[in-house]
Amino acid sequence: MKRHLLEAADLDRADATLVLDTAAQIDAALAGREVKKLPTLRGRTVVNLFYEDSTRTRISFELAAKRLSADVINFSAKGSSVSKGESLKDTALTLEAMGSDAIVVRHSASGAPHRLAHWVRGSVVNAGDGTHEHPTQALLDAYTVRRRLGRLEGVRVAIVGDVLHSRVARSNVRLLHTLGAEVTLVAPPTLLPVGVGSWPAEVSYGLDPVLPKSDVVMMLRVQAERMHASFFPSAREYSRRYGLDAPRMAALPDDAIVMHPGPMNRGMEIAADVADSARSTIVEQVGNGVSVRMAVLYLLLGGGVQ
Amino acid sequence: MAEHALGSAPATGVLLSAADVTRVVDRMAHQLIERAAAASPGAPDGGLSDLVLVGIPTRGAPLARRLAARVEAFSGIPVDVGTVDITLYRDDLRRQGVRALEPTLLPAAGIEGRLVVLVDDVLFSGRSVRAALDALRDLGRPRAVRLAVLVDRGHRELPIRADYVGKNVPTSLTQQVKVRLTEIDGADEVVLLGGER
């Protein structure tokens, strides 16, 4: 393992498998226990440095660090010295001077965690940067697929929706490819990035032909906050063409699962009855997120790499 | 312990052959049966259904399973087995770095109020046992915890001692005791390596 986790490409197949295996062991070790706490990272400090709003990722990281007995400091840009104009570098050096061992960072600017990694001595974990990457989300998604389907090699995954703005899609394409899955991106041409042809994934403009040959359908959120141009004519039309509703779900193979990184727009990219169906892993993904992030923190912070 | 004084270390070589390992495990199984019976006199099961053998991975785990199989063979009473991974409870994480985790598996009946015997291959500094005790504390409250090891090589760094010992081996700190078991290494053997003086 490298010292930082900045993007899915930081993990080769062995590393990624180690994270998933470690998460599975942690899950098994804590299952059914009254004391869901391990003493592993006692005395270490993890800072959650969040420049963008987040509920599940921040709480998930916080819980993961606390279950490993690390001390956690939550820092959000609102109401801090950032609003007085402090730079990312100065904020990071300040936090490090106070003794942080790891910084979990979310930032609206793509590449911010990379810059940060050059300035600090501790580990940096990317918890989502702009439209670039969100590697721990990809890890928890891979973990969820492996738990549900029992394998990743050869699993056919369709990633549907706003690929252009989605850091989840970027990280997932990279990681799932590393782990041997076959990815198909499904989106209107306006929501696909330039150069998508060089990604290790197939591309389809239509959802219906892809569904019968998918083991996993991963719906992406339509990110209203990033929709500053007319990427599609209307929400209704998008929902008609790319939304996952019950009739579309029926076209999936019998054991296929439906995923969503959350937060979801019910009725937009995913119908409510699909989101609440037995095939949906959306709630499971949240729970798995804590185990996977525990594994990441353990592997990055648990002493020098051998 | 006096017999562990430096200078009495034997030369490099085989400490236990495959046949020796089998004999030693059999003897330890008999001792477990004896002491369980002594602890609950008159019990129809000889106190054995109360017993849980918990192995410390890697090699403590198959050793615990073997002991349980021998106890059952000699007494006719099945004994619960489990494993407890201590990786996340170690105190040398900063120095040793991370290692892969092993499974923690406990019998369905758990360890609450039962007699737990921790099983490991080599007893050395005692730090693994301390970590295992910490892990057990998070898993439940056994009636009592005992310790069984195949080899006790001395050099304790903590006030810990084994209740069942396969073989006491005085060693020097520069030597290595290597336990090989069929389940993991393809053959049974205990050897002493290096550090001849």
Task: For residues A125 and A141, state if they share a domain.
Answer: no
Q: Counting Cβ atoms within 10 Å, is residue B179 exposed (0-12), middle (13-18) or buried (19+)? A: buried
Q: What is the pLDDT of residues B159-195, one digit of tens each?
A: 999 999 999 999 999 999 999 999 999 999 999 998 7
The enclosing H or E element of A160 equals strand A156-160
CB contact under 8 A, B101 and A22: yes
How would residue A33 be classed by pLDDT, with cut points 50, 70 and 90? confident
How many domains does chain A fold into?
2
Q: What is the pLDDT of residues A210-257, one digit of tens each?
A: 999 999 999 999 987 777 777 888 888 999 999 999 999 999 999 999
pLDDT at B3 (0 to 100): 43
- The CATH number that applies at residue B123 is 3.40.50.2020
Q: For B13-35, what is the mean pLDDT?
A: 95
How does A95-127 read in b/e, with b if 16+ C-beta sit within 10 Å? bbeeebbbbbbbbeeeebbbbbbeebebbbbbb
Task: For residues A129 and A147, state if they share a domain.
Answer: no
Whether B6 has a pLDDT exceeding 50, the answer reads: no
* Lowest-confidence segment of A25-34, A77-86, A92-101, B20-29 by average pLDDT: A77-86
Task: For residues A166 and A257, state if they share a domain.
Answer: yes
Q: What ipTM does the predicted assembly reach?
A: 0.74
Of A25, A33, A305, the CB nearest to B103: A25
Q: For A270-276, what is the mean pLDDT?
A: 96
- The CATH number that applies at residue A209 is 3.40.50.1370
pLDDT at B10 (0 to 100): 54
* Chain B residues within 8 Å of chain A (Cβ atoms): 85, 88-89, 93-105, 134, 138-139
pLDDT at A303 (0 to 100): 60
How many domains does chain B fold into?
1
Q: What is the pLDDT of residues B71-100, one digit of tens each?
A: 999 999 999 999 999 999 988 777 777 878
Task: For residues A276 and A156, state if they share a domain.
Answer: yes
Chain B hits for A304, CB-CB cut-off 8 Å, are: 94, 97
Task: For residues A163 and A120, state if they share a domain.
Answer: no
CA dihedral A23, A24, A28, A31 (to 10 degrees): 60
The boundaries of the domain holding residue B153 are 21-167
Q: For A184-192, what is the mean pLDDT?
A: 95
Whether A171 has a pLDDT exceeding 50, the answer reads: yes
Q: How far apart are CA A221 and CA A24, in angstroms?
A: 27
The boundaries of the domain holding residue A150 are 137-282
Q: How far apart are CA B93 and CA A41, in angstroms?
A: 9
Whether B2 has a pLDDT exceeding 70, the answer reads: no
Q: How far apart are CA A162 and CA A261, in angstroms?
A: 13
Task: For residues A216 and A116, state if they share a domain.
Answer: no
Task: For residues A79 and A162, state if they share a domain.
Answer: no
Task: For residues A150 and A275, state if they share a domain.
Answer: yes
Q: For B117-137, what is the mean pLDDT?
A: 95
Q: How far apart are CA B79 and CA B51, in angstroms?
A: 6
Task: For residues A169 and A245, state if they share a domain.
Answer: yes
Q: For A67-72, what is the mean pLDDT?
A: 95
Task: For residues A44 and A127, state if they share a domain.
Answer: yes
The two tokens of residue A165 are: 């703005």
* Residue A15 touches partner B, C-beta closer than 8 Å: no
